[in-house]
């Protein structure tokens, strides 16, 4: 098989021969006028063999965006090689024991819904306060959110469907703080379903909740940017993990597994 030819324009933009295109790629630029083709102006996903044939008829080369679609085969093979090497280097994981009967449902959705909605909003508010404090240069405070987290976990253990209903019917815009709270709740729901011990669910919940705490010390323009990052921006963005670990390092009593979740969440 011939190796596909492409030219790297930037971190996510590759110039590819039309003969090397694949279904699933996202085309962002053509070597001819957009108006001369039947495709929508500005970019599109290649969805069918017919799309490939039309592109090959009109263009010799196109630019694809690998952030939005498939990469060339040579790139994907390299990624798999790197991933396989990393997996081989990692210590073997212990077998996951799944026991779906660990936590019987003890409350109905009707019995829980009011208190669950209240606790969810309370945790969002309290964690917003934690984030605002970090942004203002204050010491990371975990006491209030930890108590709310434990109450949320007990609600999940009694009946996960109540929180699932609340998360799936949330109508307000999703803030960064609410995103972290929602991710933590989903992690607890998953952990309950496989029968993880309650103490470990608590650690998983707290670690997931704090994964992006370092974001609060990144420049706002970086966090709120829409579209692909430049290389320097991406490297700066990745620092939120190290910043988060530094903030957690000031709490020596915190379970090391919480920091481990933050360290490995990407």
Residue located via tokens 């799309």: 51
Confidence at residue 176, expressed as pLDDT on a 0 to 100 scale: 87
This model's pTM is above 0.75: no
List C-alpha distances in Å: 9 to 14, 165, 203, 233, 234: 6, 45, 43, 17, 16
Please identify, among 36, 60, 89, the residue that sits at the C-terminal boundary of a domain.
89
Q: Is residue 95 part of a domain?
A: no
Q: Are residues 219 and 113 in the same domain?
A: yes
Nearby residues of 32 by Cβ (< 8 Å), 6 or more positions away: 58, 59
Confidence at residue 103, expressed as pLDDT on a 0 to 100 scale: 96
Q: Are residues 113 and 68 in the same domain?
A: no
Give the three-class secondary structure for 26.
strand
The tokens describing 251, both together, are 């709490």
The mean predicted confidence, pLDDT, of the chain is 86
Residue 72 class from Cβ within 10 Å (0-12 exposed, 13-18 middle, 19+ buried)?
buried
Short-list 13, 17, 22, 23, CA closest to 4:
17
Q: Are residues 121 and 215 in the same domain?
A: yes
**Max Cα separation, the chain?**
65
pLDDT at 261 over 90: yes
The tokens describing 58, both together, are 């009109």
Q: Are residues 121 and 176 in the same domain?
A: yes
Domain of residue 126 covers 109-264
Higher pLDDT, 163 or 83: 163
pLDDT, average across residues 217-238? 83
Q: Are residues 64 and 160 in the same domain?
A: no
Q: Is residue 247 part of a domain?
A: yes
Nearby residues of 153 by Cβ (< 8 Å), 6 or more positions away: 188, 198, 201, 202, 205
Q: Are residues 25 and 123 in the same domain?
A: no
Answer whether 40's CB lies under 8 Å from 56's CB.
Answer: no
The separation between CA 60 and the C-alpha centre of its own chain, rounded to angstroms, equals 36
Confidence at residue 1, expressed as pLDDT on a 0 to 100 scale: 42
8-state DSSP, 65: E
Q: Is residue 175 part of a domain?
A: yes
Q: Are residues 58 and 121 in the same domain?
A: no
Question: pLDDT band at residue 134, thresholds of 50, 70 and 90?
Answer: very high
pLDDT at 259 over 50: yes
Please state the domain count of the chain.
2
Confidence at residue 220, expressed as pLDDT on a 0 to 100 scale: 83
CB atoms within 10 A of CB 261: 19
Question: pLDDT band at residue 183, thresholds of 50, 70 and 90?
Answer: very high
Q: Is residue 249 part of a domain?
A: yes
Q: Are residues 118 and 79 in the same domain?
A: no
Whole-number percent of the chain with pLDDT over 70: 88
Q: Is residue 100 part of a domain?
A: no
Q: Is residue 51 part of a domain?
A: yes
């Amino acid at each position: 098989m011939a190796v596909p030819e492409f030219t790297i324009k930037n971190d996510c933009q590759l110039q590819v021969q039309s003969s090397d295109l694949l279904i699933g790629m996202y085309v962002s630029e053509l070597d001819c006028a957009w108006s001369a083709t039947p495709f929508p102006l500005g970019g599109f996903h290649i969805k069918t063999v017919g799309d490939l044939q039309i592109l090959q008829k009109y263009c010799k080369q196109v630019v694809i965006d690998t952030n939005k679609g498939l990469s060339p085969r040579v790139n994907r093979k390299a990624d798999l090689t790197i991933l396989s090497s990393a997996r081989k280097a990692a210590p073997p994981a212990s077998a996951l024991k799944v026991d779906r009967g660990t936590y019987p449902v003890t409350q109905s959705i009707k019995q829980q819904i009011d208190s669950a909605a209240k606790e969810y909003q309370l945790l969002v508010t309290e964690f917003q306060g934690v984030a605002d404090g970090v942004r203002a240069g204050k010491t990371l405070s975990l006491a209030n959110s930890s108590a709310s987290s434990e109450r949320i976990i007990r609600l999940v253990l009694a009946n996960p469907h109540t929180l699932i209903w609340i998360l799936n019917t949330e109508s307000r815009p999703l803030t960064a703080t609410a995103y972290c709270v929602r991710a933590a709740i989903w992690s607890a729901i998953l952990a309950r379903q496989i029968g993880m011990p309650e103490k470990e669910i608590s650690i998983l919940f707290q670690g997931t909740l704090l994964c992006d705490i370092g974001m609060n010390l990144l420049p706002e323009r970086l966090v709120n940017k829409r579209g692909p990052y430049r290389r320097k921006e991406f490297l700066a963005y990745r620092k939120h993990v190290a910043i988060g670990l530094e903030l957690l390092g000031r709490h020596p009593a915190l379970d090391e597994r919480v920091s481990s979740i933050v360290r490995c969440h990407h």
